[in-house]
Amino acid sequence: RKQAANDLASRGWQYLMQGNLPDAMRRFNQAWLVDNSNGTALWGMATIQAGWQKLDESLKLFAEAEAIVGDDNDFTTDYAKVLAMAGTQTKNDTLLNDAFARFESVYKKAPQHTLNLENWAVALFYGGNYAGAWKKVKLAEATPGGAGFDPEFLKALQRKLPRP
């Protein structure tokens, strides 16, 4: 059962990376039905819910998955991103502080984790901390493969605060 669930969850991530959210969600649900302790399936479902702007549902799934997935840097980065999205939209400082603490935690363990730095920069931008966002942009750009910022994001940041 565990292997079958892992295979289904892997297929879910493949569909997710292809942008096929309905099939990805179907595979994650199947994985969870086969093994309801499959944290990867919960993580995938949480990611899709966030993409559908169902942030409350996403955060519930992330919280449930965290007990299983544990201290995985990629998981923590995804969870922090959704916490930041929810915190920004609802102006909830508790969610934002949790997000920033998670970004910081990943950074301390893996300072070259590009996606963490990119998501952190975006979260800082939407929180109005443009100088902080530029610092994270600079750190992310210095990582291997660190040229992944959306040019529109960089333009928006530039309009708020010129690149230092």
- In angstroms, the Cα distances linking 105 to 16, 94, 98, 122, 160 are 26, 16, 10, 17, 27
Match 């994001």 to its residue by tokens.
153
pLDDT tens, 26-57? 999 999 999 999 999 999 999 999 999 999 99
- Two tokens, residue 47: 């990611």
CA pair distance 36, 135, nearest whole angstrom: 40
Quick one: pLDDT at residue 145?
76
Residue type, 88: T
What whole-number distance in Å separates Cα of residue 128 and Cα of residue 137?
15
| pLDDT digits 0-9 by tens, 105-158 | 999 999 999 999 999 999 999 999 999 999 999 999 999 877 678 999 999 999
**Which residue blocks in 19-150 are alpha helix, DSSP H?**
21-34, 39-51, 55-69, 73-90, 93-109, 114-126, 130-141
pLDDT score for 135: 97
Entry pTM: 0.91
Which H, E and C letters describe 22-38, residue by residue? HHHHHHHHHHHHHCCCC
